[in-house]
Amino acid sequence: MRMIGWMAGASLVLAACGGGEKAPAADTTAAAAPAPATTETAAAGAGATHNVNMVLEGTAYKFVPAELTIKPGDKVVFHNVSGGPHNVQFWADSVPAASKAALDAAMTGDKLGELNGPLLTEPNQTYEITFAGMVDGEYKFTCTPHMTFGMNGKIIVKQ
């Protein structure tokens, strides 16, 4: 009799767990999706916002897009998408001399050094740099941890 009672109880548990339609799984991709590597128009009077994803695709570490043309006053938001930690370090010899101090001041947070932003250690973490007061020119940068893997980029500031 005990065996029949145990089997009946087990059957009820299994039926409750396995039968019927299941609710669809929650879509979590929206929160984890990388930012579009595009330009967005900002409010009147403010510069545009540009997104740059920091990714590992296969065995390639890269910035997407790797080259970006912006205007003085625009903001660039770097997104740690995959393969981190990442950061942004501008090459001092590529930054126009008239912009070095302004760029270094715009790079806030727990920086690794001059023109060298903080490490983004968490997925979806972002780092913003506003190019207010920057002169026209090329601003070449790298990801310090992945420099030897060729993770480089360039921002062209142009009126």
- CB within 8 Å of 15: residues ≥ 6 apart: none
Query: Contact, 142 vs 53, CB < 8 A?
Result: no
Structure tokens at 42: 């900002």
pTM of the model: 0.74
pLDDT in tens, the chain (159 residues): 444 443 444 443 333 444 444 344 444 333 445 555 554 544 445 799 999 999 999 999 999 999 999 999 999 999 999 999 999 999 999 999 999 999 999 999 999 999 999 999 999 999 999 999 999 999 999 999 999 999 999 999 999
Q: What is the pLDDT of residue 34?
A: 55
Q: What is the pLDDT of residue 53?
A: 98
Name the percent of the chain in helix, strand, coil, to the closest 5. 25, 30, 45
Q: What would the CATH number be for the domain defined by 34-157? A: 2.60.40.420
CA–CA gap between residue 8 and residue 16 (Å, rounded): 12
CA–CA gap between residue 100 and residue 111 (Å, rounded): 15
* Among the listed residues 3, 138, 153, the one whose alpha carbon sits nearest the alpha carbon of residue 66: 153
